[in-house]
Amino acid sequence: MLHVAPETMFRKILKKNIGSGYLTADLNGKGVDIAMDITAIQYADNTFDIIYCSHVLEHVPDDRLAMREFRRVLKPDGWAVILVPITTDKTHEDPSVTDPAERLRRFGQEDHVREYGPDYVDRLREAGFRVEVIRAGDFLDPQEIEQMGITPAAGEIYVCKKN
């Protein structure tokens, strides 16, 4: 399993349950197993059974290349969960925006390079994935959703498999 920009909470659980088959990666390489640019993944085709990447692509200038790289290194029977914040009606980006204050104004955070809309799923499909969109209500009842504080802003889960 490849876990990009691992969340501390998930990292501990996954490492305990997966063991040596669990690899953490981040661009800066701090506190992870390997420094990795997800637009140029240094592993061979069909390496990983599972890829988990949450709230990273909105920071990556060429997100489409990163998606293609995820597909390339995913095994034919593998799957990936690639999450982004969906915060607008349609994805918009402007590579000319480099000023942190302007990125904050335009994309909601100083280090974001785009804001995603529901058309995000089309980008995943363009990269060669079959995408299943799962919502909290698909596996939790309304009481559980309320107890866990899951709001519509939490968005969908995108489970990606190779075409």
Q: Which residues constitute the domain of residue 140?
A: 2-162
Torsion of CA 52, 74, 25, 33, to 10 degrees: 120
Higher pLDDT, 141 or 62: 62
Buried b (16+ CB within 10 A) or exposed e, 45-68: eebbebbbbbebbbbbeebeebbb
Question: How many domains are there within the chain?
Answer: 1
Q: How far is CA 127 from the centre of its chain?
A: 14
Confidence class for position 146, pLDDT limits 50, 70, 90: confident
State what percent of residues in the chain have pLDDT above 90: 81
Read off the CATH number of the domain in which 31 is found: 3.40.50.150
Cα dist from 53 to 3, 67, 159, whole Å: 6, 10, 11
- Please give the pLDDT value at position 145: 87
Q: For residue 78, what are the contacts with CB-CB under 8 A and spacing of at least 6? A: 48, 49, 50, 51, 161, 162
Mean pLDDT over residues 26-34, rounded? 93
Token match 């790289």: residue? Answer: 69
- Please give the pLDDT value at position 147: 87
- Please give the pLDDT value at position 149: 81
* Residue 19, pLDDT above cutoff 80: yes
Q: pLDDT of 94-107, one tens digit each?
A: 999 999 999 999 99
Q: pLDDT of 60-100, one tens digit each?
A: 999 999 999 999 999 999 999 999 989 899 999 999 999 99
Mean pLDDT over residues 121-141, rounded? 94
* Residue 153, pLDDT above cutoff 70: no
Q: Are the C-beta atoms of 160 and 79 separated by less than 8 Å?
A: yes
Buried b (16+ CB within 10 A) or exposed e, 79-112: bbebbbbbbeeebebeeeeeeeeebeebbebeeb
Higher pLDDT, 155 or 36: 36
* Helix (H) / strand (E) containing 70: helix 63-73
* Helix (H) / strand (E) containing 128: none
Q: Which amino acid is at 38?
A: I
What integer best gives the mean pLDDT of the chain? Answer: 94
